[in-house]
Structure 1
Amino acid sequence: MHYVKAKGIFTSDYGINLYRGCTHGCIYCDSRSAVYNINHKFEDIEVKENAVELLKKELIKRKPCMIGTGAMTDPYIPLEKRLEYVRKSLKLVYRYGFGWACITKSDLVLRDIDLLKKINEKTKAVVQITLTTADDDLCRMIEPNVCATSRRVEVLQRLKEENIPTVVWLCPLLPHINATEENINALLDFCIDAEVKGVLNMGMGLSLREGNREYFYEQLDKSFPGLKERYIEEYGDSYFIHSRDDRRLRKILRNRCDEHGIMHNQDEIFSYLHEFPEKSVQSKLL
Structure 2
Amino acid sequence: MFNSLIKKGRGAQQNINNRFFELSQEVRDDFLEYCEKEGEVADNDKTQYLEVYPKTIVNKVNSPDVGMSYSMNMYQGCEHGCIYCYARNSHEYWGYSAGLDFERRILVKKNAPQLLEDFLKKKSWKAHPIVMSGNTDCYQPAEKQFEITRKCLELFLKYKHPVSIITKNALVLRDLDLLKALQKDQLISVNISITSLSEQTRRILEPRTATIKKRLETVKILSENNIPVNVMLAPIIPSINSHEILPLAKAVSEAGALSIAHTIVRLNGAIGQVFTDWIQKKMPDRAEKVLNQIKDCHNGNLNDSRFATRMKGEGNIAKQVSDLMQLAKLKYFKDKVMPTLNTNLHESCKDGQLKLF
TM-score bracket, shorter-length normalisation: 0.7 to 0.9
Counterpart of 1:217 in structure 2 is: 276
Corresponding residue number in structure 1 for 2:242: 179
| Cα shift readout 1:84-117 (whole Å, capped 9, x = no counterpart) | 0000000000000101101000000000010011
Candidates 168, 190, 215, aligned match of 1:105: 168
TM-score by structure 1 length?
Answer: 0.87
Q: Which residue of 1 aligns with 2:102?
A: 42
Q: Distance in 2 between matches of 1:254 and 1:263?
A: 14
**Paired residues, number:** 276
2:31 counterpart residue number = none
Whether 1:23 aligns to 2:79 is yes
Tell me, what secondary structure is at the counterpart of 2:163?
strand
User: Compared with structure 1, are the counterparts of its residues 96 and 145 closer, same or farther at alpha carbon in structure 2 (3 Å cutoff)?
Assistant: same
Q: Distance in 1 between matches of 2:315 and 2:241?
A: 10
Deviation (angstroms), 1:250: 2.0
Write the letter of the residue equivalent to 1:4: V
- The structural deviation recorded for 1:222 is 2.1
Which has the larger helix fraction? 1
Relative to structure 1, the CA distance from residue 242 to residue 23 in structure 2 (aligned partners, 3 Å threshold; closer, same or farther) is farther
Aligned-pair CA distance for 1:285 = 5.1
Q: So what's the TM-score if we normalise by structure 2?
A: 0.70
Given candidates 130, 144, 149, the residue that maps to 2:207 is: 144
Match of 1:197 among 238, 255, 258: 258
Alignment partner of 1:175: what SS? coil
Find the structure with the greater CA-based Rg. 2
Deviation, 1:178, is 1.0
**1:82 Cα deviation after fit:** 0.9
Q: In structure 2, do the counterparts of structure 1 residues 106 and 262 end up closer, same or farther at CA, with 3 Å as the change threshold?
A: farther
When residues 71 and 243 of structure 1 are mapped into structure 2, their CA distance, relative to the original with a 3 A threshold, is farther
Distance (whole Å) between structure 2 residues aligned to residue 237 and residue 35 of structure 1: 23
The separation in 2 between residues aligned to 1:195 and 1:63, in whole angstroms, is 32
Deviations 1:215-261 (A, max 9, x none): 11121122101433334555253314768433233222212312444
Q: How does 1:54-133 map to 2 (within 5 A)?
A: 54-61=115-122, 62-133=125-196
Query: For the structure 1 residues 82 and 222, does the alpha-carbon distance in structure 2 shift closer, same or farther, using more than 3 Å as the test?
Result: same
Counterpart CA distance in 1 for 2:276 and 2:76 is: 23
Work out the CA distance in 1 between the residues paired with 2:315 and 2:237: 7
Q: Secondary structure at the match of 1:253?
A: helix
The 10-residue stretch of structure 1 (237-246 or 118-127) with the greater mean CA deviation from structure 2: 237-246
**Match in the other structure for 1:7:** 55
C-alpha distance in 2 between matches for 1:136 and 1:242: 29
Amino acid in the other structure paired with 1:88: K
Matched with 1:256 is: 328
- 1:158-169 to 2 correspondences below 5 Å: 158-169=221-232
RMSD (Å) for aligned C-alpha atoms: 2.7
Q: Cα deviation per residue 1:47-85 (whole Å; 9 max; x = unaligned)?
A: 123211111111122343322111210000111001000
Once the two structures are overlaid, the 10-residue window that deviates more, 146-155 or 105-114, is: 146-155
Q: Are 2:284 and 1:228 equivalent residues in the alignment?
A: no
Aligned to 2:88: 32
Q: Distance in 1 between matches of 2:316 and 2:175?
A: 40
Deviation at 1:262, TM superposition (A): 5.0
Does structure 2 retain, via aligned residues, the 8 Å contact 1:198–1:263? no
1:140 and 1:18 mapped to 2: Cα distance?
A: 25
Structure 2: stretches of 5+ with no match in the other structure:
1-48, 61-68, 305-312
In structure 1, how many angstroms separate the alpha carbons of the residues matched to 2:335 and 2:289?
Answer: 34
| Structure 1 residues 131 and 89: CA distance shift in structure 2, 3 A | same
Amino acid at match of 1:7: K
Matched, 1:246 2:318: yes
Instruction: State the alpha-carbon separation in 1 of the partners of residues 237 and 82 from structure 2.
Output: 12
Structure 1 stretches of 4+ moved >6 Å: 279-283
Q: How much has 1:173 moved relative to structure 2?
A: 1.2
Q: Which of 223, 234, 237 matches 2:301?
A: 237
